[in-house]
Structure 1
Amino acid sequence: MNTMLRIAAATLALAAGWAHGQDKVTFATNWKAQAAHGGFYQAVADGTYRRMGLDVTIQPGGPQVNNRPLLPAGRIDFLMTGNLLHSFDNVKNKVPTVVVAAMFQKDPQALMAHPGQGYDSFDKLKQAPVALIAKDGQFSWWQWLKVRHGFKDEALKPYNYNLGPFLANPRAIQQGYSVAEPIYVQNQGGFKPVVHLLADHGFSTYSTVIEARTETVKSKPELVQRFVDASILGWVNYLYGDRKAANALMIKDNPEMTEAELEASVALMKQQGIVDSGEALTGGIGAMSAARIKDFYEQMVKAGLYQPGEVDLSQVATLQFVNKKVGMDVKARLGGK
């Protein structure tokens, strides 16, 4: 029996044992339901979590909701957070959490510009007279842009998550989540913006990472493995299979979302290689490496966000639950590319 068949047989045997006793798990996200959460909703909708012996409740975040403190406090079991900067801060501040998987190989953070304004090249963006950037971006990746690419603070204007100022000024550039804001610009402004992913220009962080309490990893590694594996399978099925039920669940949790927006966002995730690219092509979705975490940290040190040696990188993430090619057979069966 080959390795994949042994894994499948073991999974089925375990699932049979779990049928009568599901582990209750609360998984919190960092924003309202959207396609960037699709794989997790898929694993609920198609029963993948249930088949892995998990009774999963997804607890959405939002502008008035901060789920981050709930993880170390033990009020949730897993947390979906943004990129590795949050995880570095946790280790620096001795918050007992650890990254167990990275669902996005590319951070969707992007800069958008109007078409026909000479911004087709990323290098030209630093010449824009106005850069609409939110405060958290100004104190994080904007610092990296200054050091790595020569952007200047003189262009900074606050972005308050209102597209009006950007739409009204064709010479402005603005931050955006590459699988969301471009859709809103097209809907509201009637044009397709020029989009430059920071990830394509050296911003090497993983994104949509799953964090767990360090104690959970130590005392319940089998539970963590089941949650990670089921989430990976959820993402494979969401990207390449029938996602209608997952979309319906997200619209229920976030009525502002529409089916058309969700589908447009999925198309962008595929086009940009947000989820299934890089290390995920050989290790499976969720893949991580210590070398890449180190590279990103060193970039952030150069940008002045951290001091050398300030963060113990061995505490940021564990690789024990990923890089196992989970879901790659399902992807092949679904014809995923």
Structure 2
Amino acid sequence: MRNQIKKEFRTIPYFILLVILAVMIFYVLGKKNHGTINSKENNDYFPLVLGTDWFAQAEHGGFYQAVAEGIYEKYGLNVKIKMGGPQVNGIQLLLADEVQFYVPASYIMMSAAKQKLPIISVAAIFQKDIQVLLAHPNVGNDTLENMKNKPIFISAPTAASIWGFLEGKYGYKESQKKSYSHSLTPFLQDKNSIQEGILTSEPYLIEKNFGFKPVAILLSDYGFSGYGELLTTTKKFEEKHPKIVQNFVNATLEGWKSYLENPTLGNELIKNANPEMTDELLQFAHQKFINEKIISGGDAELYGMGIMTDVRWREFANMLIESKAFDKNIDYHSIYTLKYLNNTK
């Protein structure tokens, strides 16, 4: 029987055996290296995770636009956006390398300098900080000075970013702080109270849902001169991957330019990520970006979107030092670099 098998085996043409053997080898190697093939394809684009500071919204529109239009891929990047939220600490995620970029405001970066955290900002999307304090109309709370000694509903993260300024420059007191759980009800029930918010969201929501236009005090109009949505990474990542950082900056700014011109594609991704988002709120925020020149104003009119300057950082730091929010020896130069802004488009 064994001899019969050998005999029949010898009758199979060698070229057929070679074909069979080649197919078997290709199949085995293909199965074994399936992940490697995908990794090779993925490796054509450098993987990055961008952590945002809240649920998907217009304030992140340029990032989503860059994803939707394939702009990041054009720059050799595979960017995923990780939404933030009330319980998400973006700085911790950044330091843990769970995200490679995060978008804090200037005050948070000053706090990072105080703590000597190894993170660095490489571009500023918002030339104005868009944080506001909201008040009921016709009760006299129409300036920051008049809001002193009034109850202010404010979350811990927001207080961490603006309270030192309010306390130092305007004499606000800790007793004014009232816990804010992202519900407008306490504010609506007390006409003498103040509410935190952002220019591009809460004013619209209050007017639409409750029928009155709140007083909105934009802190940047009162000397809170920081940047918003700062593209920020770790110093380790920046030193190791300068070309990737440059490409991410360029692609992101291109995405924001496109979003300001026509936000349709970015907004679709935003709504997919955050089903509670509405077209009306997205449109309201987009119009605020344009009317208030949040992204394109200030130094950006001269030097282009994303710009930061030593003068602006120094003014912001000095304002906070004079307000006693930070010590005069704080090394604020350590938290930003301008070198990626000379090659932006």
Verify the 8 A CA contact 1:146 1:152 in the aligned structure 2.
Answer: yes
What is the aligned partner in structure 1 of residue 34 from structure 2? Answer: none
TM-score by length of 2: 0.82
Aligned equivalent of 1:300: 320
Matched, 1:39 2:62: yes
Once the two structures are overlaid, the 10-residue window that deviates more, 311-320 or 118-127, is 118-127
Paired residue for 1:175, among 184, 196, 206?
A: 196
1:122-161 matches, within 5 Å, as 122-126=144-148, 129-153=150-174, 155-161=176-182
Deviation at 1:19, TM superposition (A): 12
Q: Give the number of the structure whose alpha-carbon radius of gyration is greater.
A: 2
Q: Which moved more, 1:118-127 or 1:252-261?
A: 118-127
Task: Give, in angstroms, the shift of residue 324 of structure 1.
Answer: 5.2
Work out the CA distance in 2 between the residues paired with 1:320 and 1:44.
Answer: 25
| 1:191 pairs with 2:191 | no
Number of aligned pairs? Answer: 305
- Secondary structure (helix, strand or coil) at the match of 1:71 reads helix
- Give the match's secondary structure for 2:148: helix
Q: Distance in 2 between matches of 1:154 and 1:62?
A: 26
Aligned pair partner of 1:313 in 323, 327, 332: 332
Structure-to-structure mapping, 1:1-337, within 5 angstroms: 21-81=44-104, 83-126=105-148, 129-153=150-174, 155-240=176-261, 242-309=262-329, 311-322=330-341, 326=345
> Quick one: distance in 2 between partners of 1:75 and 1:157?
32
Structure 1 residues not aligned, in runs of 5+? 1-17, 327-337
CA distances 1:197-216 after superposition (whole Å, capped 9, x unpaired): 00011001111111112122
In structure 2, distance between residues paired with 1:235 and 1:163: 30
Alpha-carbon offset, residue 154 of structure 1 = 5.0
Hey, what's the Cα distance between the residues in 2 that align with 1:186 and 1:238? 25
| Cα deviation digits, residues 78-110 of structure 1 (max 9, x gap) | 1122x1222223233332211011101111111
Contact 1:104 1:206 in 2 (8 A): yes
Please give the TM-score of this superposition, normalised by the length of structure 1.
0.83
1:100-142: CA deviation from partner (whole Å, max 9, x where unpaired):
1110111111111122223444543337x43323334445423
Mapped partners of 1:52, 1:323: distance in 2: 17
* Contact 2:108-2:161 within 8 A present in 1 as well: no
Percent of aligned positions that are identical: 35
Q: How far apart in 2 are the matches of 1:118 and 1:88?
A: 33
Distance in structure 2 (CA, Å) of the matches to 1:20 and 1:312: 38
> SS in structure 1 opposite 2:296?
coil
Root-mean-square deviation (CA), in Å? 2.3
Amino acid at match of 1:106: K
Amino acid corresponding to residue 202 of structure 1 in structure 2:
G
User: Deviations 1:29-78 (Å, cap 9, x if unpaired)?
Assistant: 12110100001000111111111111111111112333322322333221
Structure 2 regions of 5+ residues with no counterpart?
1-40
